[in-house]
Amino acid sequence: MMKKCLAIFLTVLMLCSLAACGGTGNASMGGDDLQPVDEAASAEIRNALSLLVDRNYVVQAIGQGGQIPASSFVPSGMTDADGSQFYENTDYYDVSEDAYEDNFSQAIETLRKYYAYDESTGRFLNFPVLTYLYNNSDTHKAVGEYLQSIFAGVGITLELENQEWNTFLNTRKQGDFTLARNGWVADYNDPICFLDMWTSHSGNNDIQFGRGDHAAKAIYDLDLTPYGLDIQVDDGTWAETYDVLIGEIKSTADRDTRYWLMHLAEDMLMETGCILPLYYYTDLYMIDSSVEGFYANVLGYKYFHSTTVNGSGAGISVCLASEPDSIDPALNSTVDGATLISHLFAGLAKWSQNENGDLTLLADCAESLPEGVPNNDGTVTYTYTLRDGLKWSDGREVTAGDFVYAWNRAAGEDTGHGYLFEVIQGYGTGKLEVSAPDDKTLTVTLHNPIGYWEELLALPAYMPVRQDVVEGNEGWATNPATYICNGAYTMTGWQHDSVITMKKNPNYHDGSSVTMNEIRFYLSDDANNMLSNFKNGTWLVIEHVPTNEIAALKQQYPQQFVIAPQIGTYYLSWNINADLSPTG
């Protein structure tokens, strides 16, 4: 399979250097025949560039971790209304190996409508220079170099710019890029967690939909009358169409209608060409055979609470990622940060592994996870009772009011996690319909029933924080002395860009389930460094390995080299405000 994929790649590079119509030396297309590059043309251009990319090559020659070539943004593992795979009910790209040459030819024909093309060389003459932004990683670099080579073969210059993780996140969030490496792993098993991140007000909207120049572009249509809804918009803005559509999805109780609308939302996204999916994630990591009790979920979180090393719970050293951007539960936006927070904080619910090795949701700070009570207006109210004796790491009592404060804080506009709270009544008014009648009772009212509510309760954004700790101390989550938490562990040390040390929290209510006394999370994104420390026994779990070592590691470490399921998509994102007009 690898040889076949490499052969396809080499064949395509040869095709790039020949004329599209036979290489007979025809003159280049003149500027008078070219169409203007407006918003609709930009979308067509971005989609054409997506067809130039051989996803099978990326998966087999670069990823090498069992990834699936992506034909959509919503990934494999996400179910549809009838239980089938959501992505299998879409038709955006044919990503089969046999389709690539046709895809490539189609891309060239589309791009020739907008850019001068030299028939004798098979290259475009006036395509603007592009920049590809990515963070430090062998895999990300290899993907960038592949894109650079395939684009160069047709006369498109792609300059590569790499940044360290935190700088990269901030640059991308601010929209200071043309084309950027991106990835998203499910918050919970429902397609909406891939679709609601692109509303104009979302903190995860790196593409800048509905922002900057795009905010005023009244070019989108939305007709929901076929679905029984009295909504029809012609020539509306992104906020007037896509934002409205997502709002309807979140307030629609009928399951079939809701899934039809989610397919419509993905159609709108993919028509812009701003999302270029490459592959559906798998979770590749290495774990030493001495480690027992470890588990991970399909969201990418890794759990060390119940581990032992050679039967001992004295301590474990692991390396999952570099310095986190934030481990404030309301501000974190990464899987590695969520893993850290899941050890330090406890919400109403948590993920756990049962005796059969299956993952399940259990009550954590809540005594139980009761069913919601339907109201006459279609809303649903949940009432939770907190366990007795819940304490913060400094010994103070955890109260229902701490949850009320934390949820309202995380739902704010500046956190980037507001979209996770849109299901709660009062969202957008500045005050969620969540209350604490007393210190042990928490009530919350949702717009309508949703199947993934308990999964939300296990997310970091839904974990409590204490108002007196957070307010007036902007750096509280960067210093072990001020990092007051309520989970299985407390943070006892943070040597920035080096290691975060956690020790078992004596105040955690379920301390008997915690077997590992100390966890040292080393901070690095250097895959060679990770592998070296794994081989010498210093780090017992690592998240990344050098791409060029994968094949050998699979052979040398058949038990320790793990490829696990994960619900996520590795993709490229275009800044929708980037100018793709011809040069000259």
- The backbone region for 395, taken as left when phi is positive above 0, alpha when psi lies in -120 to 50, beta otherwise, is left
- 81 Cβ contact partners less than 8 Å away, ≥ 6 residues apart: 255, 256, 258, 259
What single DSSP character describes residue 203?
T
| Residues 477 and 327: beta-carbon distance below 8 Å | yes
Q: How far is CA 170 from the centre of its chain?
A: 15
Residue of 232, 235, 285, 242 lying closest to 262 (CA atoms):
242
- Sign, CA dihedral 183-188-194-197, equals negative
Please name the helix (run of DSSP H) or strand (run of DSSP E) that holds residue 220, with its range, or none. Answer: strand 220-223
Residue the block writes with tokens 């990834």? 67
- The backbone region for 445, taken as left when phi is positive above 0, alpha when psi lies in -120 to 50, beta otherwise, is beta
Alpha-carbon distances, residue 101 vs 5, 51, 58 (angstroms): 12, 9, 15
pLDDT, tens digit only, all 584 positions of the chain: 444 444 444 444 544 544 344 443 444 555 568 899 999 999 999 999 999 999 999 999 999 999 999 999 999 999 999 999 999 999 999 999 999 999 999 999 999 999 999 999 999 999 999 999 999 888 899 999 999 999 999 999 999 999 998 899 999 999 999 999 999 999 888 999 999 999 998 888 999 999 999 999 999 999 999 999 999 999 999 999 999 999 999 888 888 999 999 999 999 999 999 999 999 999 999 999 999 999 998 889 999 999 999 999 999 999 999 999 899 999 998 899 999 999 999 999 998 887 776 778 999 999 999 999 999 999 999 999 999 999 999 999 999 999 999 999 999 867 777 888 989 999 988 899 999 999 999 999 999 898 899 999 999 999 999 999 999 898 999 999 999 999 999 999 999 999 999 999 999 999 999 999 999 999 998 999 999 999 999 999 999 999 899 999 999 999 999 999 899 999 999 999 999 999 97
> Residue ranges of the domains in the chain?
2-216+273-280+569-574, 289-525
Q: How confident is the model at residue 31, as a pLDDT?
A: 53
Q: How far is CA 444 from the centre of its chain?
A: 27
Q: What's domain 2-216+273-280+569-574's architecture?
A: Roll (3.10)
d(CA 206, CA 211): 10
| Residues 279 and 70: beta-carbon distance below 8 Å | yes
Please tell me the CATH superfamily of domain 289-525, with its number: Periplasmic binding protein-like II (3.40.190.10)
- 186 Cβ contact partners less than 8 Å away, ≥ 6 residues apart: 75, 77, 78, 193, 194, 298, 299, 567, 568
Q: Tell me how many helices (H) and strands (E) the chain has.
A: 15, 25
Give the number of other Cβ atoms within 10 Å of residue 98's Cβ. 9
Please name the helix (run of DSSP H) or strand (run of DSSP E) that holds residue 444, with its range, or none. Answer: strand 441-446
d(CA 567, CA 437): 38
Please write down the HEC assignment for all residues of 245-300. HHHHHHHCCCHHHHHHHHHHHHHHHHHCCCEEEEEEEEEEEEECCCEECCEECCCC
- Which phi and psi angles does 461 have, rounded to 5°? -60, -25
Q: How confident is the model at residue 305, as a pLDDT?
A: 95
